[in-house]
Amino acid sequence: MYILVADDDLPNVKLTAFLLEEAGYKVIKAYDGPSILQSVEQYNPDLILLDVMMPKTNGFDVCRQIRRTSDVPIIFLSARSQLQDRVTGLQIGGDDYLVKPFEPSELLARVEAVLRRRNSDMLNPSARLSHGDITLDPVEHKVLFADGRIVELTPLEFRLLYYLMKNSGRVLNTSQILNKVWGYDCEGESNLVAVYIRRLRTKIERDPEHPRHVLTVRNLGYKFEA
């Protein structure tokens, strides 16, 4: 599999590339916004590791441009650790956000989890799932409503809603959700789940501030109600 490492810090790129190559991946390197976009078009990578603070065009803007034409998985790698940065990265289409400095083993675990989700989404679509007035189409990653509305979801949003609906009425904690949807369980990542829950609500709830389907159970987790 080909992984694009995009960072203006050459020593970081060199170290990250070495780590990935030792794990068996092919690595493409890019150092600024224009070269990243060119590499995406030329090589069609399986995954992008994208720094946020880069010259010419920052990582967030690069991600927005990529998302206009591609759903390639993107993991942000950044020294910017503020919650708002993490939220922004996920809201604009990032699949994960890892704060520098990080342990090499954690980076590899995140990479493997994202690629595993990607392969599962592509190779093993499940049958349609219906609860109440909502039906999930796993091939198109769409939500079909009884009133005729259709909403498109990203692969990760779809996996999250599918997992909630498969366990309709059951409270799922953040560790369970991270393990089943993201493919890993890492302390301190509850915000990741919260961000995607909010994204789901803006897409499927008539009133996201007063949801009827994707509910928060205080101090316990989340559940789906038909």
Residue 123: predicted pLDDT? 44
- 107's tokens: 């980076």
pLDDT digit string, tens, across residues 118-127? 766 554 555 7
**Nearest-angstrom CA–CA distance, 116 and 118:** 5
The identity of residue 144, as a single letter, is L
pTM listed for this prediction: 0.65
- Give the list of residues 6+ apart from residue 195 with CB closer than 8 angstroms, or none: 86, 87, 90, 91
Give the rounded percent of residues in the chain with a pLDDT score beyond 70. Answer: 93
pLDDT digit string, tens, across residues 43-58? 889 999 999 998 778 9
For residue 154, give the 3-state DSSP assignment.
Answer: coil
Residue 124: predicted pLDDT? 52
Domains, the chain, ordered by start: 2-122 (3.40.50.2300), 125-224 (1.10.10.10)
Residue 91: predicted pLDDT? 87
Residue 186: predicted pLDDT? 60
pLDDT digit string, tens, across residues 183-226? 766 655 668 899 999 999 999 999 999 999 999 999 899 999 98
